[in-house]
Chains A and B, each alone.
Chain A
Amino acid sequence: MSDSDPVAVDNALLFRKVFLEGIAGSGKTTYAAQHMLAWLASGVDPSRLLIFVPQMPLARPYQQALHDSDYGGGAPIITTLASFAREAVRVYWSELAAPLGVGSPSHEPIFLNIETTQYFMARFALPRIANGEFALNDMRVAPPRIISQVIDNLNRAALMGFPLEEVAERLGNAWGGRDSSRLAVFQRARTLALEFRAHCLQHNLLDFSLTIEAFRRFVQPLPEFQTFLQARFDFLLAENIEEDTPAAHDFLAALLPYVQGALLLYDKDGGLRTFLGADPDSAHALRGLCDDHLIMPHSRVMSADMAALSAAFNRILSPRFEPDLQAEGDPSAAFSYSANRFYPQMIEAVADQIAALVAADVKPHQIAVLSPFLNDSLRFSLTYALRQREELHGIQIPVLTHRPSRALSDDAITRALLTFTLIAHPHWLDGLTLSAPPAKDVADALALCISDLDPLRARLLAEIIYRAKRDDQNVLRPSLSAFAKLEADKQARIGYRVGQRYDALREWLDSYRARLEYGENIPLDHFLRRLFGEKLSQKGYALHNNLEAGRVAAQLIASVQHFRQTLYDRYEGDWSEAGREYLSLVSQRLLPSLYAQSWQDENADAVLMMPANTFLLRNRYVDYQFWLDVGSGGWFERLEQPLTHPYVLRREYLPDQVWTDDDEAAAEEAALYRTVIGLVRRCRQHIYIALADLGESGFEQSGKLLRALQRLVSANAEDAEGEASE
C-alpha cells in the first residue's frame, strides 16, 4: 500500500509496519508522536514500545508529546544503538566474554568513552609516532589527529560490519596505484588499531567499536538474546533512520519481523551524519521489510516563499532536480542578502538585524545564527555586539552556542577551574609537566568566577594576593593571601564586596588544602564538584545562573570522573596520581572536551549560534536564520583525514574502487545540497545571508555557496526582467 501526505493518525496503521518518507519539515515527527500516543491510547504497554533514535536529543519531541498529553502511564523505552548494545553486552557478558577473547572473563567489562579511548590509544600511538612510523614523506599529521583517525577506523569497521583488518585494504584500494608510501601508512595504522584492540581485550576495556562488535558478533546470534528480542518489544518507532548506521539498520531489520506495529521515519535528503558513519542507503533498504510506504512530500514549516526558495536551490544545486517541488511563492522574498566589505561590518549588520527582530517581539529561540565554523573570535564578537544592543535598546537577547569538540585548555571556564585546581593542589606540581599558573591565569580565573570583578581589578588583585614561591625541591608552589593584607587604598580600589567574595573563595581553598594535609583523600572530580557546587555556582560568583558556564563545568567534572572510574577502577590508594595524570593530559592537549552532552537548555529562549551542521543534526526549526560567511569553503568541504575515509569505509562502497577527484567533487556538491536544502527546510520565515567580501583572513571569498547564491540572485533578476518585458 502507498499513500501520500497523511495528516491524522490512521488507526488501521497502528498494527502495520510503516515506512514513512518525507522531507524535513513535512511533519513526520509530529505525525509519529501522534502515532505513539495512539499506540499508548489503544492500550499498548509502554515498556514494550521501543523508540529508537540515532542520538538521544532526537527523542525529545516524543518526551515532550508524552509530557503534553493526558497519558498517565509509564514511558516507552528510548534508546540508541550504542546504549542498547552496551546494556546487552553488560547483560550477556558471561556468555560472550570468553568467545570475545577478553583477558579476565570473570571480571566485569569497563566501558570507555571517547576521552578514555583516546587516552589508551595515545599510549600505543605516541611511542610509534615518536619513532617516526607515521612521519613518512607524504604523511604529515599531528599525533592527536592520528589517534582520532585510527579510532574512527575502528568504529567504522564495527558499524559497517567488516573486519578490522579490512580497513587498510579498503583504504589502500581506494588510494589506487598512486605513487606514494601511503599503503605502508595504512598498514601501520592497522597494526596500531590491532595493538589497541588486543590491549582492550586483555584488560576488559570496551571502547565503542568493541562494544558494537561484541554486540553484533556475540550477543545478536545468541539464541537466548534472539528469544529475548523477539519477545521483548511489540512496537517500534525509529526516528531519522537515515542518520543512523548500518549496524543500527541491521538491528532494526532483526527486530522488525517480530513487532506488531512499526513506524520508521526517513528523510531522503538527510544523511548529515555520513561523516559519522550514517548510511541513508542501508536505511532505505528497510523499506522492503515494511507493509506500507507513506510519503509526506510537502513542508508544513516553510512559508510559500521559503518553499519557492527551496525549489530554486533544488534547481541550482541538486543532482536530481525535482520539478514537482516547484512552489507558488517568490523565492526572493524568502531571503535577503547583505554584502559587507569587511568581517566586523558583517558582524555588526547581523547584530543589528537580530536586535531589530527581537525588538519586534520575535522570540530569541526562533533565531538561529549559522556559519560553517564557529570560532571563539566570531562567537565572542557577535555575542559582544548583541550585549551592546541589549543595553542600547533595553532588550534581552540571550544567546546559546554549541561548538564541536576542542581542546579543554582552550576554554576559559575550564582553564579557570584548572587554575584553582593547581592552587588547591600545590604538591601536585613538579615544575615540568605541571607548573604553578602565571598571575595572568589567576587573574582570569578570579575575573571569570567572582561576580562584579572586572578584568582590571582582577589583575590588580591577583598581582598582590597571588604568589608562587620556590621550595626546597626548586619547584614553584602557588598560594593566595588574604584580602585584608592589601593596603587600604588597594582594598578600596578593588572594592570590599568583591574582596569578601574573594576571601570566601580563598578560605574555601585553604580549608580544602588543610584537609588534604590532614590526610583526606579526595578525587579530582569530587574537588571540582564541590568547588563548583559549594562556591562558584553560589550567589556572588559568576557561574551562578550561567547556563553555559554550568554546562562547561559539568562536562569537565564528568570527564574527570569517567577518567578516574575507568583508569582507576577498584583503586583504593591516593587520588593525587589520577588527578595529576589528568591535568598533564590536558596540558598536552590530548583531551578534547566532549560534544555538548546536556540538551536540557534546548528550551531556553535564546538565540542559537552554532555551526550549520550542528544545527542540522539537532533537527531544530526556527522562524529566522542567519547564514554567515557564505563565501567560505566550509559549507561543502569535508574534513580531510588521510588515515580514514567516510565514503570509502561505507558498506556499499565497492572494495576495489579507486576514490577519484570526481568522486570528491560529487561528494562536495552533495554535501552542499544537503546542507543548504536542510537549512532552508528548517526555516519558516526568512533567511538573512551575510557576506564579508574579505573573509576573516582578509581574502576575497568565492566558495561554491556564494556562487550558487549569485546564480540565484541573477536568475531572479532575469525572471524579473522577463516579467517586466512581458
Chain B
Amino acid sequence: MSDNVPSPFRPEQAEILRYNGGKMGIAAVPGSGKTFTLSHLAARLVAHLIRQQRVTADQEVLVVTFANAAVNAIRAKIATILQDSGVVITNMGYRVRTLHGLAHDLVRERPTLAGLAEDFKIMDERTAQSIREDVVATWLRGNGISLFTSYLEDEWRDEPKKLAYLARDDLPKLAQGIAESFIRQAKDRRLTPEALRQRLEGLLESDLPLARFGCAIYENYQRALSYRGAVDFDDLVMLALSALERDSAFLARQQARYPYILEDEAQDSSQLQERLLRMLSNDQNWVRVGDPNQAINTTFTTADPKYLRAFLEERDVQSQTLSVAGRSAAPIIDLANYLVMWTRNEHPNEDLRDTFLPQRIQLTPANDAQGNPPAEEARLQIVYSTGRVYTPDQEIDLVAQSLAQWLPENKERTAAALVPENQHGFKLAERLKALGVPYEELLRSTSSTRETTKRLEQVIKYLAKPISPQSPAQLADLYRDQWWRLHLGSYAAEEAAESDQWLATAHSALAGLKHIERFLFPEDGVLLTEALDLPDSESLEPLYQDLEAFRQVVHRWLHASYLPIDQLVLTVGQDIFSTPPEIALGYKLAQLLRGYALEMPNARLTEFAAELQRISSNERRFLGFEDAEVGYTPKEGMVTIATMHAAKGLEWDRVYLLSVNDYSFPSAQATDRYLDEKYYLRGALNLGAEARAQLECLIADREYIEGEASVQARLDYAAERLRLLYVGITRAKRELGIYWNNGRFHYKGKEQEQQPSLPLLALWSYLNGNPER
C-alpha cells in the first residue's frame, strides 16, 4: 500500500492510516474521530483489495461495531470515501456488521455445524423473556419460594402477610432477573446446562443453591428454545464460535474471506466476542479501536474493558492513540480530564481509582480543520449550592425552563437532556410538551424504529377492521399519513398552499364516506368523484389520479390480508417503506409477527396490530442484531431526550445532565443504595451477582463466600457510573449543565433522600476553586 496519506488527517490519524497489517490497538478519547479514522482505514484497505483483484475472489474487509445504529453510518461513510476516490462499485469488498450480525452470518452459512436446521429462528427478546417467565413460574410452582426466603430480612420472612406480599410479585421478578443474568453469564462462559449439571452433581445438595436454581432454569429454557428450533441473541456468538471451532476448513475459509478485521467500540467486547474476532483474524490483521474510559455496558452485559486494555498491552500489538479531540470547547475537555484525574488520585474509595485509563483529552492544534469550539463561548454550570435541595420535579422544571428560554434564541443549535434512566426522561418529555418546547426522545427504542412500526401498525389496524364505523376516518388518515407523503404530497410540495388544500379535500372526502365500500369497491359505473362526493374538476385531476392509485393499493392490501401475517407485512411493506433501514425493519417485524403467530395460533390482524402497537408506543423494547436502525442525527432547534447510554457517539451544542445524585452515580460508600440490592433482602445482598459468583465458583472449583460478589458488584457499578458521567460530559460541544435531585424514597421503612453524587461535588469544587471559569 502507498504511504501517501492525504492531509485532512491529524498526525495521529495519519499514522493509523499507514497501517499495513498486523495487530493494532487504538485507545481513542471522546470526540477524536475514531469512527471517521476507522472508516477511512477500511476504505483504504478495500481499495487495496480491489487493486489486487481480491474482491472478485470474495475477500472483504470486515468492520465490526457494537451498536446497530453505527452500522449504516459506517457503511455509508466507507461507500462515500470509495466513491470520492473513484471506485465505481462501492458496495463490494467490505462488510459492516454488529458482532451479533456477524455471528448470525456465520451460523446462517453452516447451520448444521451449529446443530440448527436451515430455517432456524432467532427468538426476539420479548418471546425469550416470556419463555423464561414461564420456566421460572413452573419452577416456583414445583419448588416453592423457600430458596428466596432464606435470603430475606427477618421481618419479611417471619411475617406471613409481608411474605405473601413479596411472593405475589417481587420474588418471581427477582427470580426472573437472577435467571436472566445467570443464563447470560453461563452462555458467555460457553457452559451448557449439561456441563453445569455435571459439575453440580459432584457437590452437596445444599451447596450453591442459586447456581442450582440458575442451572434448572437454564436447562428448561434451552429446551424450550430447542423445541421451537430457535436461538436467542446470546446463543448466536456461542454457536458461531462452535461452528468455527468444529470445522477447521470452515474457519480457514472465513479467515481467507476477511483478510482485515477492524473493530470499533472495542471496549464493549466480551470475552466471547473477543475470542470470535481473534479466531477470525487468525490473530493477525486485526485493528481494534476503543476507549476503555467509555465502557458503559459492563454491568448489564458481559462486556468488560479489561479485554481491550489487555489487548493494548499485548507484545505484538502496535499501540496507537487518538488523543486529540476537536468536539468540545477547552473548559469542557478540562472538566472531563479533571474527572479522570480526580478519580485516579482522590476518589474516596481506593478500589475505584483504577476506573479510568490515565489518558488526557488533548486540544486540537490551531489550524485544525475540526478545531475545538472557542473556549470563550463555553458555559459550564453545576447546579449545586450547599444546603439547597432539588426534588426530581424541581430539577425537571429547572431544565425545562432553561430550555424553553434558550432554544428560541438558539434555533441553529442542538441541545440534549441526558438522563440515567428512562422514567425521568419521560417526565421531562411531558414537561417540555407542556411548555411547547420541541423535542425528540430516544428512550427505549429509537424514534425512527417506532415511527416505522407505527406506520405498519396503522395499515394492519385498518385491515383488521376494514368496514367499521371508524373505518372511513382510519382510511383518511392512512391516505394522509402514508400515501400522500410518499406520492402526490412529495412532489406537490412546491405548491404548498394548493397541496395543503388538496390534502384537506381528500382527507375530508375519505373521512366523510358514509359507506366505505362505495369508494373501495364501487358498483359498476360509479365514478371516483361520485363515490367521494367531489366536484368534477379538471384542476383536481392529479388529486383524483392519486386517490385512484391509493384505492388500488388498498385493494392490494385487502386481498393480501388472506396471506400469512409475515407475508402480508412484506407485501404492505413494499408499498409504505422506501429506505433500506425501513425495509429491513419491516422484514424484522414480519419475522417477529410470524413468531408471534406460531406462539398464538388464534391471533388475527387485530392481535397483530396490538402487538405492533406495543412496540410503537414504546411499551416494549424491540431490538435486533440487524442494522435496521438509522443512526440518529441531532436536529437544530430541537431538544433530544435520551439516556446517557443512548447518547454515546452523539454530540450537541448544549447538554444537560440530570439526576447526578448518589443513587444514579454511587461511589461505593457506606450510605449508597443500589438498584440491585432489594430492600427486603438481608445483608444488602445483590442476588444476581451472588448467583453469577456461584457460577464462577462452580467453574473454578473454588469456595463461595456469600456477600463478596455483592460488594464487588457495587464497585463495578460505581465504576461504570463514573464512566457514564464521563460520557455524558463529553457529549457537550459548547455548553454543559449538570443537575441533581434528591429522588426521595423509602428504604427499610425510613424516608431517605439522595444526595449530590461525590463526583458532582468534586467537579463543583474544581470549578469554584477556579474562579476564571
A binding-site residues for B, Cβ under 8 Å: 129-130, 132, 134-143, 145, 149, 178-182, 185, 342-344, 347, 375-377, 380-381, 384, 388, 410, 412, 415, 435, 438, 440-441, 444, 447-448, 454-457, 459-460, 463, 493, 495, 587, 589, 637, 639-642, 660-662, 664-665, 693-694, 696-700, 702, 707, 710-711
> In the complex, A587 Cα to B602 Cα: how many Å?
10
Q: Assess whether A642 is in contact with B117, with CB atoms less than 8 Å apart.
A: yes
Extra 16 A-B pairs, beta carbons < 8 Å, given A342-B578, A377-B568, A438-B602: A138-B114, A140-B225, A141-B120, A185-B115, A381-B574, A384-B556, A440-B604, A454-B520, A455-B466, A455-B558, A589-B598, A640-B110, A642-B116, A664-B110, A698-B628, A707-B56
A459-B558 Cα distance, complex, nearest whole Å: 11
**In whole Å, how far is B225's beta carbon from the nearest beta carbon of chain A?**
6
Q: B575 to A344, Cβ gap below 8 A?
A: yes
A182 and chain B: residue at smallest CB distance: B115
Q: Which residue of chain B has its CB nearest to the CB of A587? A: B601
Alpha-carbon separation in the docked complex, A463 to B578 (Å)? 35
**CB nearest to B193 among chain A residues:** A137
CB distance from A666 to the nearest CB of B (A): 11
Interface 1/0 per residue, B590-632 and A, CB below 8 Å: 0000000010011011100000000000000000001010000
Q: Is B204 an interface residue (CB 8 A)?
A: no
Report the bound CA distance from A132 to B218 in whole Å. 13
- Kindly state the separation between the CA atoms of A388 and B225 in the bound complex, as whole angstroms: 44
Most chain A CB within a 10 A radius of its CB, from B58, B226, B253: B226
Q: Is B230 an interface position by the 8 A CB rule? A: yes
- Smallest CB separation, B216 vs chain A (Å): 13
Tell me which residues from 123 to 141 in chain B have a Cβ below 8 Å from any Cβ of chain A.
none
Residues of B within 8 A of A135 (CB): 222-223, 226-227
Chain B residue with minimal CB distance to A489? B515
Do A140 and B517 touch (CB < 8 A)?
Answer: no
Once the chains bind, are A134 and B226 in contact (CB under 8 Å)? yes
Q: Contact: B586 with A698, CB < 8 Å?
A: yes
Q: Output the least CB separation between B713 and chain A (Å).
A: 28
In the complex, which of the residues B120, B556, B559, B561 contacts A140, with contact meaning CB atoms closer than 8 Å?
B120
A141 close to B229 (CB less than 8 A): yes
Kindly report which residue of chain A lies nearest to residue B520, judged by CB atoms.
Answer: A456
In chain B, positions 509-535 with a C-beta closer than 8 Å to chain A are 515-517, 520-521, 523
- Take A145-B229, A640-B118, A661-B247 as given contacts and tell me if A138 and B521 are in contact as well, using a CB distance cutoff of 8 Å: no
Q: How far is the CA of A694 from the CA of B587 in the complex (A)?
A: 12
In Å, the complex CA distance between A448 and B193 comes to: 50
Please indicate the chain A residues that have their CB under 8 angstroms from the CB of B48 in the complex.
Answer: none
B112, B245, B598: which has the most chain A beta carbons within 10 Å? B112
In the bound complex, CA of A662 to CA of B252 (Å): 10
Determine if A702 and B118 form an interchain contact, defined as CB atoms under 8 angstroms apart.
Answer: no
A/B pair count, beta carbons within 8 Å: 191
B169 in the interface, Cβ–Cβ < 8 Å?
no
Q: List, in ascending order, chain B residues with CB within 8 A of A444's CB.
A: 561-562
A residues near B120, Cβ cutoff 8 Å: 140-141
- Highest count of chain A CB atoms <10 Å: which of B115, B253, B605: B115
Q: Measured between alpha carbons, how far is A141 from B250 in the docked complex, in Å?
A: 22
Other-chain residue from A179, A185, A455, A665 in contact with B561 (beta carbon distance below 8 A):
A455
A460 touches B467 (CB 8 A): yes
Interface size on B, residues (CB 8 A): 77
The reply to whether A380 and B117 form a contact with Cβ atoms under 8 Å apart is: no
Q: Which of B214-242 contact A (CB under 8 A)?
A: 222-223, 225-231, 239, 242
Q: Mark out the residues of chain B between 81 and 125 whose CB falls within 8 Å of any chain A CB in the assembled complex.
A: 91-92, 110-112, 114-120
Q: How far is the CB of A179 from chain B (nearest CB, A)?
A: 7
Q: Mark B345-364, 1 if CB is under 8 A from A, else 0.
A: 00000000000000000000
How many Å lie between the Cα of A410 and that of B601 in the bound state? 11
How far does the Cβ of A498 sit from chain B's closest Cβ, in whole Å? 11
Q: Is B170 engaged at the interface, CB distance under 8 Å to the other chain? A: no
B447 within 8 A of A: no
Specify the chain A residue showing the minimal Cβ separation from B570.
A377
How far apart sit A547 and B540, CA to CA, in the bound complex (Å)?
43
Min CB distance, B617 to chain A, in Å? Answer: 23
B231:A694 contact, CB within 8 angstroms = no
Other-chain residue from A388, A460, A641 in contact with B118 (beta carbon distance below 8 A): A641
Instruction: Give the Cβ gap from A458 to chain B, nearest Cβ, in Å.
Output: 9
B583 at the interface (CB under 8 A from A): yes
B115 touches A180 (CB 8 A): yes
Neighbouring B residues of A702 by C-beta, 8 Å: 91-92
Chain A residues, CB < 8 A from B653: none
Q: Which residues of B contact A142 (CB under 8 A)?
A: 117, 227-230
Query: What is the minimal beta-carbon distance from A87 to any residue of chain B, in angstroms?
Result: 35
Q: Which of chain A's residues has its CB closest to B239's CB?
A: A138
Give chain B residues whose Cβ lies under 8 Å from the Cβ of A448: 562
* B585 at interface, CB cutoff 8 A: yes
On whether A141 and B564 interact (CB within 8 A), knowing A377-B570, A380-B571, A456-B516, the answer reads no
Residue numbers in A under 8 Å from B252 (CB-CB): 661
Q: Tell me whether B584 is interfacial, beta carbon within 8 Å.
A: yes
Binary flags per residue of B247-263, CB closer than 8 Å to A gives 1, else 0: 10110110000000000
- In the bound complex, do residue A662 and residue B249 qualify as a contact, i.e. CB atoms below 8 Å apart? yes
CB closest residue in chain A, given B557 = A455
Bound-state Cα–Cα, A605 to B336, Å: 75
Q: Which residues of A contact B225 (CB under 8 A)?
A: 140
Q: Which residue of B lies closest to A343 (CB)?
A: B574
- B564 and A376 form a contact (CB under 8 A): yes
Complex alpha-carbon distance, A309 and B575, angstroms: 36
Tell me, rounded to whole Å, the shortest Cβ–Cβ distance linking A192 to chain B: 16
In B543-590, the 8 Å CB interface with A consists of 552, 556, 558-564, 567-568, 570-571, 574-575, 578, 580-587
A640 touching B583 in the complex, CB below 8 Å, given contacts A140-B116, A140-B229: no
Interface assignment of B271: CB less than 8 Å from any CB of chain A: no
| Neighbouring A residues of B112 by C-beta, 8 Å | 640-642
A347 neighbours in B (Cβ, 8 Å):
574
A141–B583 CB distance below 8 A: no
Give the contacts of B247-294 with A (CB-CB under 8 A): 247, 249-250, 252-253
**Are the CB atoms of A377 and B571 closer together than 8 Å?**
yes
Given that A182-B115, A493-B515, A639-B118 are known contacts, is A698 also in contact with B581, CB under 8 Å in the complex? Answer: yes
A-B pairs, top 7 by smallest CB distance, nearest first, are A698-B584, A142-B229, A698-B583, A661-B249, A135-B226, A138-B115, A137-B192
CB neighbours (8 Å) of A141 from chain B are 115-117, 120, 226, 229
Tell me if B194 is interfacial: C-beta within 8 Å of chain A: yes
Chain B hits for A641, CB < 8 A: 112, 117-118
- Cα A699 to Cα B561 with chains together (Å): 25
Interface contact A139-B115, CB-CB below 8 Å: yes
Which residue of B194, B523, B558 has the most chain A CB atoms within 10 A of its CB atom?
A: B558
Given the known inter-chain contacts A448-B562, A456-B517, please indicate yes or no for A139 contacting B571, CB distance below 8 A. Answer: no
Interchain CB contact under 8 A, A343 and B552? no
- Measured between beta carbons, the chain A residues less than 8 angstroms from B520 are 454, 456
**With A145-B229, A493-B517 as contacts: A711 and B562 at CB distance below 8 Å:** no
Tell me if B246 is interfacial: C-beta within 8 Å of chain A. yes
Q: Across the two chains, which residue of chain B brings its CB closest to A700? A: B91
Q: Please give the distance in Å from A376's CB to the nearest CB on chain B.
A: 4
- The one of B245, B467, B575 in contact with A179, judged by C-beta atoms closer than 8 angstroms, is B245
Contacts of B581 in A (CB 8 A): 698
B562 CB contact (under 8 Å) in A185, A412, A660: A412
| Residue in B222, B246, B571 whose CB lies within 8 Å of A137 | B222
Residues of A with C-beta under 8 A to B516: 456
Query: Does B253 contact A665, Cβ atoms closer than 8 Å?
Result: yes
Closest to A441 in B: B604
Q: In the bound complex, what is the Cα–Cα distance between A641 and B242 (angstroms)?
A: 17
